Amino acid sequence: MKAKQKHTTTHEENLARLARIEGQVRGVRRMVEEGEYCIDIITQVQAVQSALGAVGRKILEKHLDTCVTNTLQSKSRDDMDEKLREVMKVMKRMCK
């Protein structure tokens, strides 16, 4: 049986996502400038927030797959503890 290879989002994929989000933000600005219906604007703002959250989660996933894993495999106990505290701090902020 062939093992599944985990797909980690690349730098280029994140940049492409951010470019789309940038376009969404410009669209929201245009909606505000043109006096669009408030609920429609709020809906678009929520879509932007969701998209940004998804990018943040992908970047965190890559950080865990690379930086944290490397630290856990090759560094001192103090380095491991610091890396885990760093990740926990970021996760707490993301859950707010």
Q: How confident is the model at residue 7 (pLDDT cuts 50, 70, 90)?
A: low
Check if the beta carbon of residue 8 is closer than 8 Å to that of residue 57: no
Selection from 61, 68, 67 nearest residue 10 by Cα: 61
Domains of the chain and CATH, by start: 11-94 (1.20.58.1000)
Residue 8: its pLDDT value, please?
64
Size of the chain, expressed as the number of residues it contains: 96
pLDDT tens digits for 27-71?
999 999 999 999 999 999 999 999 999 999 999 999 888 888 888
* pTM (2 d.p.): 0.76
Residue 36 CB contacts under 8 Å (≥ 6 apart), including other chains = none
